[in-house]
Amino acid sequence: MTSTTLVTLLDVLAGSLPDGDGSSFWLPPQVSTVARSVDWLFNFILAVSVFFFVLIVVVMVFFVIRYRRREGQKAESSPNHNLALELTWSGIPLVLVIMIFIFGFKGFLDMSTPPANSYEILVEAQKWNWSFIYPNGYIDSNLHVPVDRPVRLVMGSQDVIHSLYIPAFRVKMDVVPGRYSKAWFEATEPGEYDLFCAEYCGTSHSDMIAHVVVHPVGEFETWLEQASNFLETMAPVDAGRKLFQVRGCQQCHSVDGSVKTGPSLLGVFGQTRNFADGSSLTIDENYIRESILEPQARVVDGFDPVMPTYQGRLSDPEILALIEYFKSLDGSGE
Ligand code: CUA
């Protein structure tokens, strides 16, 4: 039996059909080159665990009943040694753990060594959004990748430990402040998949969600070019709306009046706001600019000073576009 047939057989036993997307009862679709071998090992360990759990419990219950203490019967001393039995119960587990080690170590090496021609995307994690930085400098809050091409992620955190997790790719890697961590994958199927933060990082940890968009052959480059030119091709108010979405502002600020981690921006222009230090101000362009670059300078009363600075991370034209967008949020609809 070849190893491919064996893998297919185990896939089927695990509930996924050979011509399906590789998803099964407990696992999402398999969309990266490593997904099948990861699932194979998971299913193998699961099968071994279930088999021995059932065996041990059944034998234990049988012995408890069969050899229970009864009136008029005395315990006999047991034979102290059975070489064949002891070799068997040492040998079988030994073979199993060696198999698990070999498959696990091979998978570990594959997953920690990106191919030399990988496309590189930088990742910045912060409470509570992801920024994906493409080679031309464009930044997006969703991860866009080409299909059938190895992609290497170099990841850093602005604040606490986060963890980048893409279930469909079977990729999970911690993102730690003060050092870079790396991950790579090669997507095998165009589509849209989930990306989560898998390390509890504070209040809005569960909102730290993004999409992975796998573009069909040839379409990734077109997407990147169009996405990167938005400041030149869009009206400022539309560019601002896009920035608001792709740069993570919407994770903490609503535009419909509801309160999230930060104040809502609905009708923000011309409003008078009270600050934590007792002062107050009518919101204008200068205050918005200050709040983006020095968020801690004047914190709106009732909110925690948790917004990170965007100094050096948003250009002047981008800040202007955001201001134009906030002006349009006057409650009259867009
Ligand atoms: Cu970031 Cu949880």
Q: Band of the pLDDT at 4, cuts 50, 70, 90?
A: low
Q: Where in the chain is the domain with CATH 1.10.760.10?
A: 231-327
pTM exceeds 0.85, yes or no: no
Residues near ligand 1 with C-beta < 6 Å? 128, 162, 197, 199-201, 205, 208
* Atom number of ligand 1 nearest to Cα 201: 2
Fold of 119-228: Immunoglobulin-like (2.60.40)
What pLDDT is recorded for position 334?
Answer: 45
Residue 255 CA to ligand 1 centre (angstroms): 23
User: Residue 192: is its pLDDT beyond 50?
Assistant: yes
Q: What is the pLDDT of residue 1?
A: 45
Say how many Å lie between the CA of residue 25 and the centre of ligand 1. Answer: 26
* CA of residue 125 to ligand 1 center, whole Å: 8
| Whole-number Å distance between alpha carbons of 114 and 279 | 54
- Which atom of ligand 1 has the smallest separation from the CA of 162? 1
Closest approach atom of ligand 1 to CA 125: 1
Strand ranges for the chain from DSSP E:
119-126, 129-133, 139-140, 143-146, 150-157, 162-166, 171-175, 181-186, 191-197, 210-215, 272-274, 280-282
Quote the ligand 1 centre to 205 CA distance (angstroms): 4
Question: Which residue's alpha carbon is at the smallest distance from atom 1 of ligand 1?
Answer: 162
Domain with CATH 2.60.40.420 in the chain: 119-228
| CA 175 – ligand 1 centroid, Å | 9
Q: Give 223-253 pLDDT, tens digit per residue.
A: 998 888 888 888 888 888 888 888 888 888 9
Ligand 1 nearest-atom number relative to CA 128: 1
The CATH number of 231-327 is: 1.10.760.10
Poorest-pLDDT segment among 146-160, 274-288, 320-334 = 320-334
pLDDT at residue 7 is higher than 80: no
